[in-house]
Amino acid sequence: MATLRIGTRGSNLALWQARHVAERLGPGAELVIIQTSADKRPEAPLRSFDKSLFIKEIEEALLDGRIDMAVHSLKDVPSRLDARFAIAGVLEREDARDVLLTRGSAPLPASSTLSRGLDTPAAGGSTVAGSASVLPSGARVGTSSLRREAQLRVGFPGLAFTPIRGNVDTRLRKLNDGEYDGIVLAAAGLLRLGVAIPSEAYLPVETCLPAPGQAAMCVETLAGRTNLAATLDHTPTRRAVEAERAFAAELDFGCRVPLAAYATLEDAGLCLRTLVASADGSKLVRAEGEGRDPIELGQRLAREALAKGAGELLAAAR
């Protein structure tokens, strides 16, 4: 049996995800680490990026035959995919919520994958806990996500939001070193890496609606080779993220726009909640609806959002 070559970025989280896929596929899979344009600019603000920079070099490796498939965090994949490629498999979604971690009283678990690269805090030194309620007005909160910042400005107007870059390990280290009083991260990445999250750190989706595809992993292949990952597909997750990505694609969403979309399966089909915001959170356009066809649902709510004024917010962000 030929070896399946799986392309991945080199962060701890990306490697965890790629290894998880390799284990699901069985013996005969190997990882190929590829540095992307986003990896080459670790301190550049995310809002200056096009989403293609997270996967461009990996897709080039698919085209020239150096790899057979690639594993991505689905939220990093552009909502409009080049026709030469396909999302061959969408794995079951992890917890889609965001979390706000603060410097507090709960230490990082010693068994955490992340703690292996962290300096051990001295006695009485900084550790991480949760809950924005412990943060005073003016506290520095690190996030490079316009979506998170816009929504949290509404719920926590006294916080000072500051850009932060780097992988999960780096961001936690910056928090522990005192560069920030709090940081906002996706729960899914922390859970996959074995980091215990304080219950009070979770942000309800009503407070911070997730990004399209957040917490879902996907396998990308050339359009004619989707059979390579068909066994990995989790139908409920695929249907949910298809609705979210259809909403984003209809609005031509990129990293420069505070946009959120989160779908769940209900008795009546899919329930999709969406948001488009101004960068400062002063203007929010929400659209919510249900449907059985994920693409139709996403496109319908995008049109509803445009009718409510989302177009003006999108134009201002460009």
Active site residue 76: yes
Write down the CATH superfamily of domain 1-92+215-233. Periplasmic binding protein-like II (3.40.190.10)
Per-residue pLDDT tens digits for 89-115: 999 999 999 999 998 633 333 333 333
Tokens 């215990």 correspond to what residue?
Answer: 196
pLDDT computed for residue 44 by the predictor? 54
Top CATH class, 98-203: alpha beta
Instruction: Supply the pTM of this predicted model.
Output: 0.88
Task: Tell me which of 76, 98, 169, 181 is the catalytic residue.
Answer: 76
Strands (E) located in the chain = 4-8, 29-33, 69-73, 85-90, 98-104, 127-130, 140-142, 160-162, 182-186, 202-203, 217-222, 259-266, 269-277, 284-291
Mean pLDDT for the stretch of residues 296-306: 98
Residues pairing with 173 in the sheet: none
- 193: tokens are 């890496």
The pLDDT assigned to 111 comes to 32
Among the listed ranges 200-214, 250-264, 294-308, which one has the minimum average pLDDT value?
Answer: 250-264
Per the CB < 8 A criterion, the answer to whether 98 and 186 are in contact is: yes
| Mean residue pLDDT across the chain | 87
- Percent of the residues in the chain that have a pLDDT greater than 70, as a whole number: 85
pLDDT tens, 38-47?
776 655 555 5
pLDDT of residue 104: 62
Read off the tokens for 290. 């249900």
Report the distance separating Cα 299 and Cα 244, nearest Å.
9
**How would you label 153-177 residue by residue, b for 16+ Cβ within 10 Å and e otherwise?**
beebeebebeebbebbbbbbbbbbe
The CATH architecture annotation of domain 234-318 reads 2-Layer Sandwich (3.30)
Cα–Cα dist 56/97, whole Å: 27
Tell me the per-residue pLDDT of 119-173, one tens digit each, with 9 for 90 and over. Answer: 333 223 344 556 666 788 899 999 989 999 999 999 898 999 999 988 898 999 9
pLDDT at 2: 74
CATH 3.30.160.40 residue ranges in the chain? 234-318
Query: Do the Cβ atoms of 61 and 209 come closer than 8 Å?
Result: no
* pLDDT recorded at residue 267: 84
- Give 53-62 pLDDT, tens digit per residue: 789 999 999 9
The pLDDT of residue 281 is above 70: yes
Q: DSSP secondary structure string, 269-313? A: EEEEEEEEE-TTSS-EEEEEEEES-HHHHHHHHHHHHHHTTHHHH
Residue 89, SS3 per DSSP: strand
Q: Could you give the residue range(s) of every CATH 3.40.190.10 domain in the chain?
A: 1-92+215-233, 98-203
Confidence class for position 254, pLDDT limits 50, 70, 90: low
* Nearest residue to 274 (alpha-carbon basis) of 216, 217, 313: 313
**pLDDT value at position 110?**
33
Give how far the C-alpha of residue 11 lies from the chain's centroid of Cα atoms, to the nearest Å: 14
